Chains A and B, each alone.
Chain A
Amino acid sequence: MNKSSIFLAVIFIFLSFFLLKGLYNDPKKIESPLIGKEFPRFKLNDLYLNIAHSNDSFLDKKTIINVWASWCLECEREHRHLIDLSKNKQYDLVGINYKDEIKDAKGWLNMRGNPYRIIIRDYNGDLSLNLGVYGVPETYIIDKNHIILYKHIGAINSDIINDEMIPILNKE
């Protein structure tokens, strides 16, 4: 074996590992470029009440923001976790109802319980487009200055809550 074939073998092995790693990457998981930025400005109606919400509707504490819809099957799977999260009053839980009909959304929550303090109705998806939403459900955490700290695409589960969300929520 001469030097150059050893060299090529090394390149081959390196490339194989590089590509092997790629096999286990989930292309649906894309880190949001919005992390560290301010929550986009919006002015939208409440799902239940005849009032408008804006960025001033957030409370002066860390807030979990969950984007959901009644037509979204995965939302059903994560719902009991949101109910659990809503019991802790150290942080706030706000829902964004994404491209949904009012009566469908209300009916869905009537059956399953409403974990959200307020629900922002994003019927035409403008706010969600500004947030970079593309796979409902999505869950965000913002701090009291409305800076986005975290984003999860897809249903949340106890692993994600305990390993990823709780540390961010509890951090000073």
Chain B
Amino acid sequence: MKSLVFIIILLNPFNGFTSDLDSQYKSLIEELRCMVCQNQNLSESEAPLAIDMKQKIREMLESGKSENEIKAFLAERYSSYILYEPPVNRQNIILWFGPLVFILVLSYFLIRRYVK
């Protein structure tokens, strides 16, 4: 009887464990780029490579890997281009902070003109 209950809990699609993995999986594949059709994320894409990657991500989640470990795994192979939110580095620092600097410089000039 005990084992029957256990099996029912395991098979229940609404049990906490699975749905947690599922939501992790869903959020993860929305943050990763499909390398074949680069304007789509993995969750939208049905390209063969995207299907393989989703399979791989699912396996890695099931084997207990964290989201960050999976992202690092893919970025190591496909470059940080695969991440929709790439880490700040020397190459993209202008893209990250350029607009902020631009607004600051612009508002400096505007305020100076206004104060005059």
Contact = CB atoms under 8 A, between A and B. Distances in A.
B109 A134 contact: no
Given A27-B38, A129-B53, A129-B56, A134 B79 contact: no
Between B49, B56, B79, B113, the greatest number of chain A beta carbons within 10 A of the residue's beta carbon is seen for B49
Query: Which range contains the number of B residues in contact with the other chain?
Result: 20 to 34
Between B49, B77, B79, the greatest number of chain A beta carbons within 10 A of the residue's beta carbon is seen for B77
A105 B53 CA distance: 24
Contacts of A31: 79
Nearest to B80: A33
Given A33-B76, A130-B77, A4 B52 contact: no
A17 to B, nearest CB: 13
A130 B77 CA distance: 6
Interface string B47-90: 01100110010000000000000000001111111000000000
B36 interface: yes
A129 B77 contact: yes
B53 A135 contact: no
Nearest to A133: B49
A30 B78 CA distance: 8
A33 B75 contact: yes
Contacts of B75: 33
A12 to B, nearest CB: 11
A135 B35 CA distance: 8
Nearest to B38: A27
B78 A134 contact: yes
Nearest to B75: A33
B52 A134 contact: no
A125 interface: yes
Contacts of A124: 52
Given A4-B109, A99-B48, A125-B49, A132 B77 contact: yes
B44 to A, nearest CB: 16
A13 to B, nearest CB: 14
Interface string A96-140: 000100000000000000000000000011000111111100000
Interface in A1-51: 4, 7-8, 11, 27-28, 30-34
Q: Enumerate the 8 nearest inter-chain pairs by beta-carbon distance, A residue then B residue, closest first.
A: A134-B35, A132-B77, A4-B109, A132-B78, A33-B79, A125-B52, A30-B81, A30-B79
